[in-house]
Amino acid sequence: MENFLKLRVWQLAKELAVRIYKLTQTSSISKDYGLKDQIQRSAVSIPSNIAEGDDLETDKQSIRHFYIAKGSTVELLTQLMIAQEIGYLDTETTDSLVNDCKIISVMLTKLIKARS
């Protein structure tokens, strides 16, 4: 239990979720409750599913949760792009967050392959 704390992908995903929560409290997104909620849910889903997957009994169960985390990563990426296009986020912030999503997605792909 709690081995997930050592996973670099979990650490990065958790840091991303914290950044997202702080951002959605202070940016224009804070007033768009629907988008804010979706972005927060996607962001927190990533490290949550990595943690849950890492703690499960079988690799098959773990991989399923890692795929869910990977799906949440592209969901968040999409929502961030939409937020930027409607003027809630500047390009620099969006690019940084999108890059983090891409890095986490690649790391999850490697973790899935390692557990397969």
Domain ranges, ordered by start, for the chain: 3-115
Query: Global pTM?
Result: 0.94
Q: pLDDT at position 3, please?
A: 87
State the pLDDT at residue 1. Answer: 61
Q: 3-115 in CATH: which number?
A: 1.20.1440.60
95 CB-near residues (< 8 Å, 6+ apart): none
**Is the per-residue pLDDT at 57 higher than 80?**
no
What is the distance between the alpha carbons of residues 72 and 68, in angstroms, rounded to a whole number?
6
Taking a C-beta distance cutoff of 8 angstroms, is the pair 83, 89 a contact? yes
Would you call 104 exposed, middle or buried from its count of C-beta atoms within 10 A (0-12, 13-18, 19+)? buried
pLDDT confidence bin for 17, thresholds 50/70/90: very high
Tell me the pLDDT band of 93, cut-offs 50, 70 and 90: very high
Average pLDDT over all residues of the chain = 95
